[in-house]
Structure formats: structure tokens, C-alpha cells
Structure 1
Amino acid sequence: MTDASLLAPVRSHVHRARTVDALAAIFDPDVNLAIWERPSVPVGALGGFGTIQMTTTVDRAHEELTSAFAQLPAAAWHADIAADIAVLTTSFAAIMALSHVVIRLERVVGDACKRWHADYVSVRLICTYRGSGTQWIERSVESPDVPVVETPQSLDAGAVGLFKGRVLAGEHAIIHRSPPIAGTGEERLLLVLDCPPPEETAALWASAMQRG
């Protein structure tokens, strides 16, 4: 028996599960992406949809989202999305021990942040309600003597990802990008939840608030 055969299997840096409990795995030191695999909330036409962005307390998230949607051309699906975002805000705040959350919901029609990168944040929640999901690089090791295999992967529509950034993971932060869709006619509806920035990282955080 060789030394290599005695090694424990290499753990994946991506944790997937079909319940919201999957998201708490983001604090595992070996995990830099936690995915809650779930179906998407149905979304209708996005024509006339503008960006919604706010910093809100968790208990007021649903009320403020409802008010923000009321400023847009009315659509039947707005109420369901507002309710879903409020639930995700509560879950994200509980995991990150937050009283306030930064919410951004936007229609994306071109190449947003198409370069592979890691965000200068602690943890960022990303969910694509419509269109292609955020892509990331999954790294796997078959054995100690074989080079790491890097494989592009994508979140499904509706799936919720907690992406660990450089503030917590340094060089081991998850590498990801927006799917390139310019010229395809595709539209995406993208949700990003962030922690409010502490003063010492405010400038870096602000520059990192790019589309996921």
C-alpha cells in the first residue's frame, strides 16, 4: 500500500445541499462556496425593470422592497420576488450576525463583470432569478501527484450561493464571474446581498460592489 493510498479523500471547497442549512457551511475553513439548490421563483417580462438597491434593517426588508417595487411598472411576480428576497435577507443576516443588509436587484442585459475574479468582501449572497447563473471555478484534486483540475461551473436559476471573498479567505476566495451574454438577447434578474462595510474596508468594499 502506498503512502498516497493512505491519504484521506480531498474535501471539496464547494458545499451543496437542498435545504437552507447548506448556507451555514460557508464558515467551514475548507469551503469557499455554499450552495442552496432550489427551484427559481417564476419571473415575467423584465422590460422597464430598473435596479433596486438599498441598505435596510432585516425587519424592514419586506416593507422597503415592496415600496421599491411599487415605483416600477406593475407586474404580478413582484410580490413573490419581494417576499423571497426578504426571506433570503433574514437567512443571510442570521448566518452573518447582521442587523442591516445591503440589497441589490438588477436587470442585466450585457456583460457585467465577465472577468474571473474574487470579491473583496467577507461573504456575498448571489441568486439569479432569471437567465444564466453566476459562474465559478471548481477546483478538484484526484491525487497528490496530479495537478489541480479547474472546471467552470454555473449556479442554476433560483439557486442561492454564498461566495466567500478575500476578507475571509484571502487567496483562497472563490473565483467567479458573470456569464458573458452580450449580443445574445438574454436578460438576467440578479440578486446580490452584502454585509454593510466596516469603516476600515469601506473603500475596498465600494469598489467591489460590481455585478456578480
Structure 2
Amino acid sequence: MSSASLNCRSYFDPSFDMKKKYRRAVIGKSPEVFTDIYLEQINIVVWQRRLSDTLQADVTRFLVSNPSFQISITVTPQNVLSRIRKFLGETSRLDLSKNISQLVGMFCCLFEIERVGLRLAVLDYPMCPKFHVDRVPCRLVTTYHGVATEWLPHDKVNRSKLSGVSERTSDNQIGLYKSQNDIRQLCQGDVALLKGEIWDRNDNAGLVHRSPSVVGDQHRLLLTIDFGD
């Protein structure tokens, strides 16, 4: 929606608040959509990608042999492949290592940064079960295996209720959102950029999201990439 359209709307809709921030999602089939994260009105960009059969097989083998794997490291596009292969195996898991390296390179190129914080974890529990926003400029998330991240469209969130989220109450009980139908969910393989609260002029507009419930003996393989120090 253009600024002109927003200005015009205030004349015809008495309830329209010009001071309220408007945010929306961009979803596409190629990583070219990532550049839309720079648009002020966008707070999530999703590249809907399908994992190759060889990559999925690599991930499955990795999960079998590493059911509680977790690393958190700082890497650069130049050293990420060698560092990841030290953790995943020099000769095995090559497809997974290369894919992670590619995403690190994309992230650094997109934001013109030299290093990132990378976290790769096998999870059998919801790491962040409550809806929340991140105090970061932007975070890349992708789930290589299992159920993926849940999120709320900006216009479906009662942001005044975010501070009321606690372990003793559910998100819908406090009125953070109106209906279960408001919840969106990424798919396995999707790569998403989640704009956070400290992106320039994005205070009170960071994407609201949470970890999905993990049922039974299910496992997730989650990768997150953040701006490095």
C-alpha cells in the first residue's frame, strides 16, 4: 500500500490510524524475494524451497547419528564450509554443509556484513514456545527436518498483549490473537527472513513468532543465522 493510499484512506475510514505501523509478508519461489526485506512495510520474507532428495537423505542420516546435536558459532562466508565440516564430518554430510554455507553467503551478501552467528540444533522440544519478537535487526530461519516456525501476520496481533505472555497462560488466553486461523506456519525447507525490533524504524513491528510443538519422538533440525558481532 502506497503512502498516498494510506493518506487517502484516513478520509474515508474514521477508525484508520495513520500512526499505526503496517507490515506484511512477501512469499516467493526463489531467493530473489529476499531483497524485499529492505522495504519498510515488510516484516517477513519467505523463500518457499523444496529440499533435494540428496539433501533430505543427508539430513536424515545426520539426525540418526546426532540426536542431540547443537552448535553456536561465528563464521564468515570464507570459513563457514570448513568450520561446519569439522562439526558435521569432513567426508559425510557434504550436501548439508554446502547448503548451510550457501545460506551464510546469501545472508552476508544481502546485508553487506562480514560475519554471522550461526546456530544449528536438533530439537525434540519447542525452544521458544510462546509468541514473541526478537531484539535483532533480522534473523534467517530454516527447518531442514520436522515441523517449522509459526508466526502471526502483523494485522492479527494485539501487540499490547505481548508483555503479558507467561508460562502460566497461553497466547490465545491473553488475547494476543483472536483465532487459531490467524496462525501461519513455515514448511520444512522454507527459508525465512524475520525482521526484528531493532531494524531501523521497526520498533513495535518485529515479526511475532514461536517454535512449533514437537509431538512424541519427533525431531527438528533448525538453522538460524544472525548478524555477527
Residue aligning to 1:62? 81
Contact kept in structure 2, 1:123 and 1:162, CA below 8 Å = yes
Find out whether 1:154 has 2:173 as its counterpart. Answer: no
Deviations 1:60-111 (A, max 9, x none): 111111112128xx8x5x2111100100001000111111111111100012
Would you say 1:44 and 2:60 are equivalent positions?
Answer: yes
1:104-143 equivalent positions in 2, closer than 5 A: 104-140=119-155
Once the two structures are superposed, the pairs formed by residues 178-189 of structure 1 within 5 Å of their partners are: 178-181=211-214, 183-189=215-221
Aligned to 2:43: 32
Q: How does 1:187-206 map to 2 (within 5 A)?
A: 187-197=219-229
Q: 2:26 aligns with which of 4, 9, 15?
A: 15
Task: Determine the C-alpha separation between the residues in 2 that align with 1:37 and 1:149.
Answer: 27
- Determine helix, strand or coil for the equivalent of 1:44: helix
Large movers: runs of 4+ above 2 Å: none
Instruction: Give the structure-2-normalised TM-score.
Output: 0.72
Rounded Cα–Cα distance in structure 2 between residues aligned with 1:51 and 1:19: 28
C-alpha contact 1:140 1:149 (8 A) present in aligned 2: no
1:165 equivalent among 196, 204, 217: 196
Match in the other structure for 1:208: none
5+ unaligned residues in a row in structure 2: which ranges?
A: 1-10, 17-21, 157-176
- Following superposition, the deviation at residue 12 of structure 1 comes to 6.1
Is the CA contact (8 Å cut-off) linking 2:26 and 2:44 kept in structure 1?
yes
Per-residue CA distance 1:37-82 (angstroms, 9 max, x = gap):
10124021413421122101211111111112128xx8x5x21111
* Equivalent AA in structure 1 for residue 139 of structure 2: R
For the aligned residue pairs, the C-alpha RMSD in angstroms reads 2.3
SS in 2 for 1:171: coil
